[in-house]
A and B are shown apart, each in its own frame.
Chain A
Amino acid sequence: MPEEIIGSCAVKRLNILDPQGNADENLLPPLNGQDIRRLYELLVLSRTFDGRALALQREGRLGTYPSILGQEAAQVGSAFALEKSDWVFPSFREMGMHITLGYPMHLLYQYWAGDERGLATPTGLNILPICVAVGTHIPHAVGAAMAASYRGDRNAVVCYFGDGATSKGDFHEGLNMAGVFRAPVVFICQNNQWAISVPFDRQTAAPSLAQKAWGYGFEGIQVDGNDIFAVYRATRTALEKARNGGGPTFIECHTYRIADHTTADDASRYRPPEEVADWREKDPILRLRRFMTQRHLWDEAYERHVQEEATAAVDEAVHRAESAPKPAATEIFDYTNAELSPRQQRQRKEVG
């Protein structure tokens, strides 16, 4: 008997806005001029926040910090599609998402300076703690989504991670389980081509990450991650599907880590400068600015205003972070358990 084809996987890529700022009119999401300006302002604010973080780290005022430079559209664009009540399980390189959802920037600075109170999400936001262990939060997102569907909540769950995380067992087990139980979860992978010094082709022999979703029985899509309209549109579609019982979606944001892995890294030791220069041409902010210029949404005066506002907001956040009162050392015991054991109580006394 001849072999027959029992399935085949088509890998879609979505691109709406090209590096010159030209957009595909048919695919543009329904955003008005005000929305587009808001997106631009969030991109600028995210980049300003990030640049300041790098400067603070050099001055010893922040700990090791992972820059988001070049990945702002993937973060702002996806978060802009979320509702505040949605649950977000971040990894460690999504500060643009935090800022877009209104997470206070001073808390982010506090966290990266080593003050874990910075992870105390303000009420009204459902952003879970930053997960530095690669990919281990993927099962949590699936579980929260399963809980949401059992409880009949309308919330969707979003989980962010990098290309490196897709090599983890947590990724494979987590996506498999999400598929089996049709959990209302959207997986957003920022494929920034590098996992510290390991390039994309060492994480997988597959040409895309998006196609992996096919193996778990749900849809995957690659989007130009530096194209904020494509990211926004794909996320919105996936969230609607999740809310309507359509199950999970995997979105691969094809982007690039312009900066070093963290402030403890020197990427020039392992990657060619031409590659970085190439991707700088595809900068997400530049391309949105070009688009806005065409539509008369941008001029020099507006730019000055946006920059000034961003700088002022970041100044204020740094000030607030650095003037936060010091916690008591005994607080290290406060959240280890709902009740402390007698031994912990004794140790707490000794510390205090």
Chain B
Amino acid sequence: MPEMTYRDALNLALKEEMRRDPSIVVWGEDVALYEGSFKVSRGLLAEFGEERVLDTPISENTIIGVAVGAAMGGLRPVAELMTVNFALLAMDQIIDHMTKIRYMFGGQVNLPMVIRAPGGGGSQLAAQHSQSLETYFMHAPGMRVAYPATPADAKGLLKTAIRDNNPVMFLEHELLYNSKGEVPDDPESLVPFGKCDVKRSGTDITIVAYARMTILALQAAEELAKENISCEVVDLRTLAPLDAETFVASVKKTGRAVVVEECWKTCGLGGEIATRIYDGCFDSLRAPVRRVSGLDVPMPYSRKLEKLCIPQVADIVAVVKETMAAKY
């Protein structure tokens, strides 16, 4: 398998899918000539032309709105939001239309569209450009949310998202674009939605994470292994549908769980996951489920303060150790 970056894996997924299906179009701000603010659409304009790769005016709500209309009209649009932060401008179209039209139309139309949105914190972009809004999208019925951690998953999940007949919110972590990994080059190698991936097996404790938090969890597991704590790291991969079965099975085995979420703690997705664990295997638990979360403040600009607000490897290590030490 060739090794490539998360960015290139996404780019390859777009190219392969666009070659396969002429109804796929890519619309967004600076996606064509500029090739995307994170260069994920590199080479698309050159290969597929202006007909399919379109720079739009700065109108987030309407970029999503026209994608909804075009999906009803028989295309499979991939709309790029420059960053997930600007999804807030488009929440009406995302929540009230994209996820509801199939329902309100009695199933007469599908909305095979994808919103690609880079996001997450850690680049010193301050309060309005560093958000982790994943929980907002998971809350809406009818939405699918993918958030890959590795280049292989990035490629396989994006291809699945594009082929899916449901609207998909496809989140990408800005700090992962340069990360490298092996990626299958078979254009038919897809990663299914609603299936967690056990990225490391272990016996003492389960760490449930997603996207960049999975990478941090794996680093924490490595450190903890030196202290003879064996962590199982479960990567959610898709936040909706949520594969509770896999992480519940893992916790049944280990008896302990820590959830790592980059988003704000209050009403964050970690609460949902903890509940699923309590519902699914309360009797197997040997300690309460703990959460390592973003702090409940707008993201500070200062590098040091920003670090304080986003879960770090050391935070995960500390909470895992506390959970291991807990006696009930």
Contacts and interface: CB of A to CB of B under 8 A. Distances in A.
Contacts of B96: 133, 136
Given A336-B141, A337-B142, A128 B72 contact: yes
B74 A335 contact: no
B75 A120 contact: no
Given A341-B241, A342-B241, A143 B66 contact: yes
B62 A337 contact: no
Top-7 shortest CB links A-B: A139-B65, A143-B69, A147-B73, A143-B66, A140-B69, A173-B62, A173-B59
Contact of A147 (B70, B92, B165, B242): B70
B29 to A, nearest CB: 12
A337 B141 contact: yes
B73 A87 contact: yes
A240 interface: no
Interface in B16-53: 25, 51-52
Interface stretch (B104-112, B210-218, B296-304): B104-112
A228 interface: no
B97 interface: yes
A144 interface: yes
Contacts of A316: none
A170 B108 contact: no
A120 B106 contact: yes
A169 B61 contact: yes
Nearest to A121: B108
A108 interface: no
Contacts of A337: 102, 141-142, 144, 166
* Interface residues of chain B: helix, strand, loop or mixed (majority): mixed
Contacts of A121: 105, 108
A180 interface: yes
Interface of B: 25, 51-52, 54, 56-57, 59, 61-62, 64-75, 77, 92-93, 96-97, 101-108, 110, 141-142, 144, 164-166, 194, 240-242, 244-245
A129 to B, nearest CB: 5
18 contacts: A87-B73, A119-B106, A128-B105, A129-B101, A133-B96, A139-B62, A142-B66, A142-B69, A143-B65, A143-B69, A144-B69, A144-B70, A147-B75, A170-B65, A177-B59, A180-B56, A337-B102, A341-B194
B33 to A, nearest CB: 15
Contacts of A177: 56-57, 59, 62, 66
A351 to B, nearest CB: 14
A288 to B, nearest CB: 34
Contact of A335 (B59, B106, B144, B245): B106
Contacts of B240: 341
Nearest to A140: B69
B142 A336 contact: yes
Nearest to B92: A136
Interface in A19-35: none
A174 interface: yes
B108 A338 contact: no
Nearest to A332: B103
Contacts of B244: 342
Given A136-B92, A136-B97, A335-B103, A146 B66 contact: yes
Contacts of A176: 57, 59, 62
B194 A119 contact: no
Contacts of B59: 173, 176-177
A129 B73 contact: no
A144 B104 contact: no
A116 B54 CA distance: 36
